[in-house]
Amino acid sequence: MNDKKMSLKASLLYGYITMLMILTLAFAVSLYTDQMLSSQRRRIDQTNLNLSHISLEIRNFNDYLDLFISQQQKDSVDNYKKSRANIKILLEEIREELSENEETDMYNRILNNLLEYESNLVRQILIRNERDLKTYDMMVEYKRLTSYMIQYSNLLINVYLEHGTRKHQLLTRDYVRMKTFMNASFIFIGILLFIYIGKAVRNATTILTNFSNTARNISNGQFHVEDISENSYQELNTLAAAFNQMKKDIKDYIEQMKEKAALENRLNEEKLKSAKIDKLYKESQFLSLQNQINPHFLFNTLNTIKLTAMFGNIDETMGLVDSIGKILRYNLSKKSKLVPLQDEVSVLKSYIHIQSTRFQDQISFELSIQEDIDMNKVYIPPMTIQPLVENAIKHGFRETEKGGLIRINIKESKAYIHVFVEDNGQGMRAKAVKDIFKEGNPNVDLGIGLMNIKNRLEIIFDKGDLLKVESEVGKGTTIIVLLPKERSIHV
């Protein structure tokens, strides 16, 4: 498989991150332009306000100078100087704003020149400080000058008002155009991203449907179907490789079972009773029983993964893919007689995760393990506990729509490690319990049945009565696995 293929999770994550970045950028640009437009509006308003204050201050210092000349009030000179200073400050604050337009800049320069001339004239009037004809002429000139200053300040106000209004209209027009372009761009890119994400989900759903169809064929005994082909996503490629390997191993197991059956017939015909031949027979029988795998569970699991992916729950989909991957690897790799109980419980947790997702409120699961049990030192035949849970699901809750419960409890006694699988399902009559391990029993139908587990336990531990069934109609069923400590604990 190609290592450079993109992860399905990463592919969708990239799409979501890109969309989030575009949203953030659009918001940032919109916020910036709004602030810029508001700032420009405030500058225009402030300039208009300053110009109004300038016109008012010109009238004020004219009145102050009149009071000084007519009544010789010294406070009037101070007030005049304050008004004069205020005008200078106000003009400096708006100098840059007025220079943006030729007409406002011209009136501003005229007003500054008049103010300069006015300052020189007032200085001469104050120096003379006399009420004579010369002073009178100067005051007439001063009145005429202030009249011009008021006139030009009003002209400046009107011209700048037109300029500011026009400038704001242009900025608003450009802002609307830019925002329209941004919205159109965002919608276009958003459509592309939705198409991209939708295509990724559709591709994954198509691939999972292919998995499901192939699994259905295998569950019906059609082992010669084509391998699942390579696809665009790492996770599904890994699952495809494990799936194809499982199919191959099932075919190999069937051939092995045929060969072992032939060997058993030859052994029975030749009636070889030597210990070596008997041991080989038990080994062959054990492997034959162990290597039975249930493809129906795989078919149902792939349907669950497909539905989860269709609803866009990527994290749950990845979790289910990881769980089925663990179960497949465990089935394909654990070919020894015994495995640590820790490994068996680990794959059981993956199985419970899948079934919890599939059945939701219909069935819940509880797993309890005695704390002082060292599960790495306790050994058990592989695929022992999971089939018991599977049988509880299949046979205990056929008519249950809600409130089903399966408890798995692992305890230690003086001589055994006990594994309890208890359900609150429909239960069985006493006769049905008694007939479970009889040949031809219809309740032992699919997958690795109770007889299979019972035979494996008895073969590997060389002891009987290691699998017990307790059940009562309407109260549920409890299956107990006994692991002899003298044979199952390896230090």
State how far the Cα of 181 lies from the Cα of 175, in Å rounded to an integer.
10
| Mean local confidence (pLDDT), 372-394 | 90
**pLDDT above 60: residue 76:** yes
SS3 of 479, please? strand
Q: What is the CATH number of the domain that holds 92?
A: 1.20.1330
User: What is the CATH classification number for the domain harbouring 455?
Assistant: 3.30.565.10
Contacts (Cβ under 8 Å, ≥6 apart) of 36? none
CB 471 within 8 A of CB 477: yes
Strands 363-369 and 379-380, by their bridges, are: unpaired
Global confidence as pTM: 0.50
Mean pLDDT of 293-309: 76
- What does the pLDDT read at residue 1? 43
Domain extent at residue 33 = 8-194
Residue 364 reports pLDDT greater than 70: yes
Which of the residue ranges 354-358, 408-412, 425-429, 460-464 has the most confident prediction, judged by mean pLDDT?
408-412
Average confidence (pLDDT) over 361-388: 92
In a domain? residue 200: no
Is the residue at 226 inside a domain? Answer: no
Question: Of 145, 171, 194, which closes a domain?
Answer: 194
Residue 219, classified by CB atoms within 10 Å of its CB into exposed (0-12), middle (13-18) or buried (19+), is: middle
251 lies in the same domain as 187: no
Q: What is the pLDDT of residue 480?
A: 96
- Cβ proximity of 150 and 37 under 8 Å: no
pLDDT of residue 279 exceeding 70: no
pLDDT tier at 276, thresholds 50, 70, 90: very low
> How many folded domains does the chain comprise?
2
Statement to judge: residues 336 and 458 lie in one domain? yes
CA 177 to mean position of chain CA atoms: 35
Within a domain: residue 317? yes
Per-residue pLDDT reduced to its tens digit, 318-355: 888 888 888 888 877 766 678 999 999 999 999 999 99
**Which pLDDT tens digit goes with each residue over 410-419?**
999 999 999 9
Higher pLDDT, 439 or 408: 408
37 and 153, same domain (yes or no)? yes
Secondary element (H or E) of residue 471: strand 467-472
Q: Are residue 253 and residue 394 in the same domain, yes or no?
A: yes
- Considering the domain boundaries, does residue 211 fall inside one? no
